[in-house]
Amino acid sequence: MRAKTAVVLGAQWGDEGKGKIVDVLSERFSAVARYAGGHNAGHTVIICGQRFVLQLIPCGMLRPGCKGIIGNGVVLDPIAFLKEVAKLRALGVGVDEQLFVSNRAQVILPYHRMIELAEESAPGRKKIGTTSRGIGPAYEDKMARSGLRVVDLLRPDLLKTHIEAACGEKNAIARALFGTDPLDPAKMYDEYAAAAEQVRPFVADTGRLLNTILAEGGSVMFEGAQGTMLDIDHGTYPFVTSSSATAGGAATGTGVGPTAIGTVISVTKAYVTRVGEGPFPTEIHDAAGEELRARGKEYGAVTGRPRRCGWLDIPLLRYSNQVNGAEWLVVTKLDVLDELAEIPICIGYEIGGKVTDEIPADVQGLEQIKPRYTALKGWREPTEGITEFEKLPLAAREYLRFQERESGARIGMVSTGPDRDQTMVLPEFAAALDRIHA
């Protein structure tokens, strides 16, 4: 019998609409667990016209009774966390009953932001395009075994000692390399010791909690952040995030073993977007890209940065599904393509005069890609709000079936608008979800 779990993740560079999909699916799960990233991730959910933007807290929290779990693979900024909790509490969301934070999660402190901002702003350094929220430096400290975990945050004596030592080191580095003004360790300690007491009620051994839920017959959805092509190992390195955004991160980032992963659901837009720096083979550099950005409202949920837009990239999608072992594909923002008479799709690459569908491992190789396109007929009919596959225009159905045939994963859901209700679930996918929920 397959485990009653599913991983939901992004197939490209993030911003695929995972938040909405997690929210739609969460009614079928006992708990939703975030396993990577920090408050650099922005998941937008629209329910009956009301817009929720979640950065750290799992989207499943918007369902009454569904537990939200921040796993050990996440880096937690206590101040950002408490601000988000306060907003949800004011909206009547049951954070105090439903939300749990791993005692093993790493903590982001102000010197992490100082270091990241200084590095990104330094003359002559390659800009990655980070959000400058301290995510990368916090993961660096984690791997250097010099970080502070949530369990340590709750011990005032250890917190004080850690902040004093870390500030001594980080202030010296920032001053020497970047000329940055030093941070005050005493002020930092007072602020974070107070925050720790507000975080304390949420802290638990979440690995134990998740395994208990499964042992007692419950179901768990693992919520990814960012996207596959931003994964630290499998993405477009070095223009990546600092954590494991792929399906493998669900096990290491929560404490639930890999044999307990039941299925992987990969979310892709009907086209592709990317925020920040880095290679993007199918990026559109003319008015068509501006039109997609305008129709799709392609601006970052956290930063407001305009997203770069491009045509669907089949080799990239196939690679992503392979890396994740994706069984199901969810296609979002189909309605954004409604006005196009013809829709290009990248079906292969040409690199140095050779035709290939292999994703180069190096940036130079990625930048040398010349996409090879085919064009599918557009439908030029409105699809927004359609919730039955057979009611879609024929050309829209053919566009989706082409993705399915070429990507190696079956289409299970299609989003035809931003609201929770503007979603279609295909019968075979609904049956698979029923088996998980049973």
Place of tokens 């999608």: 317
In whole angstroms, give the CA distance from residue 116 to residue 109.
Answer: 12
C-alpha 330 chain-centroid distance: 14
Residues 6+ apart with CB under 8 A from 419: 46, 47, 48, 49
Number of residues written out for the chain = 438
In whole angstroms, give the CA distance from residue 320 to residue 224.
Answer: 14
Strands (E), 40-172: 43-47, 50-54, 67-70, 75-76, 99-102, 106-107
- Burial code (b: 16+ CB inside 10 Å, e: under 16) for 369-383 equals bebeeeebebbeeeb
CA distances from residue 235 to 324, 332, 340 in whole angstroms, order as listed: 12, 21, 30
Residue 39 annotated among the catalytic residues of the structure: no
In whole angstroms, give the CA distance from residue 380 to residue 378.
Answer: 6
Residue 43 annotated among the catalytic residues of the structure: yes
Tokens found for residue 347: 């079906």
Question: Which residue is catalytic, options 23, 39, 43, 234?
Answer: 43
Closest CA to 302 of 135, 131, 420, 87: 131
Closest CA to 360 of 371, 352, 369: 369
Cβ burial of 144 (10 Å; 0-12, 13-18, 19+) is exposed
- Tell me the catalytic residues: 15, 43
